[in-house]
Amino acid sequence: MIDLHSHILPGIDDGAPDLAASLAMAEQSVSVGVTHMVCTPHIHQGYFDNDPTSITQAYQALVAHLAQAKCPLKLSFAAELRITPDIMLWQKTGQIPFIGRWEGKDVMLLELPHSHIPPGTDNLLRWLLKNGIQPVIAHPERNREIIANPLCIHKLKRLGCLFQVTAGSFIGRFSDKVNETARLFLEKDVITYVASDMHSINRRPNDMSRAYMEVAALSGKDRAQRLFKTTPWLISQGNQWQ
């Protein structure tokens, strides 16, 4: 499986605190069938002020550590960007790492607040698409405004968004409402792909294997294959894997 969302890089956000934790996360991911993983630390102003330099340094340290430990997990890196108008400036100055490409556009992993969809989101999404960037909304099933009104995801879809649902949402890692919303999005076929969003081996481990089996049971193996393997690979096949 190809995992396009993880917080495995050491010491730069709320994921792995150090290289030992990163290695444990990598080994756990391999054990559940993940072969390739995009490292996507937060870029969240005032909380995790990462940039390509800090991300690259953590990435290179982890690649070397995994090679020394003979862990076979292949890595590339990008970021999960909390929505902010400054994204437009960051794009113009080349400060955004992308998770891959989709239909000729660079793919950005974009995080909404967990509480709501901020005013002006539609304007930013239009600007991104106009400027050759494909936004992927991370874990929409965990946004409380969307949970309260799941149909509002169709407005985001009409604007041109893709959607990544968290593997743990299908297996009860979060609330019953999150699980119900993820299942509804699966039923309505609005999910582009599933990713782990793993943060640790205990509290937020890699749930890709269990979620794959759940999605296959709910919607068939062909759709599970598309959401966990085919589409993530198409997005990331041009990445430089190490």
Q: What pLDDT was estimated at residue 60? A: 98
Q: What pLDDT was estimated at residue 208? A: 98
Q: What pLDDT was estimated at residue 48? A: 93
Q: What pLDDT was estimated at residue 49? A: 93
CA dihedral for 23, 214, 226, 83, sign (positive or negative): negative
Confidence of residue 104 (pLDDT cuts 50, 70, 90): very high
What is the per-residue pLDDT across 145-157, written as a single tens digit (0 to 9) for each? Answer: 999 999 999 999 9
Confidence of residue 37 (pLDDT cuts 50, 70, 90): very high
Contacts (Cβ under 8 Å, ≥6 apart) of 42: 7, 13, 14, 48, 50, 79, 80, 82, 111
Mean pLDDT over the full length of the chain: 97
**How much is the average pLDDT of 98-107?**
98
Domains of the chain: 2-236 (3.20.20.140)
pTM over 0.95, yes/no: yes
**How much is the average pLDDT of 46-73?**
96
**How much is the average pLDDT of 177-181?**
98
Query: In whole angstroms, what is the distance from residue 6 CA to residue 16 CA?
Result: 10
DSSP state of 9: S
Indicate the SS3 state at residue 60: helix
Q: What pLDDT was estimated at residue 123? A: 97
Q: What pLDDT was estimated at residue 212? A: 98
- DSSP E strand boundaries for 7-132: 36-39, 42-43, 74-77, 80-82, 100-102, 105-111
What is the per-residue pLDDT across 190-235, written as a single tens digit (0 to 9) for each? Answer: 999 999 999 999 999 999 999 999 999 999 999 999 999 999 999 9
**How much is the average pLDDT of 72-86?**
97
**How much is the average pLDDT of 74-89?**
97
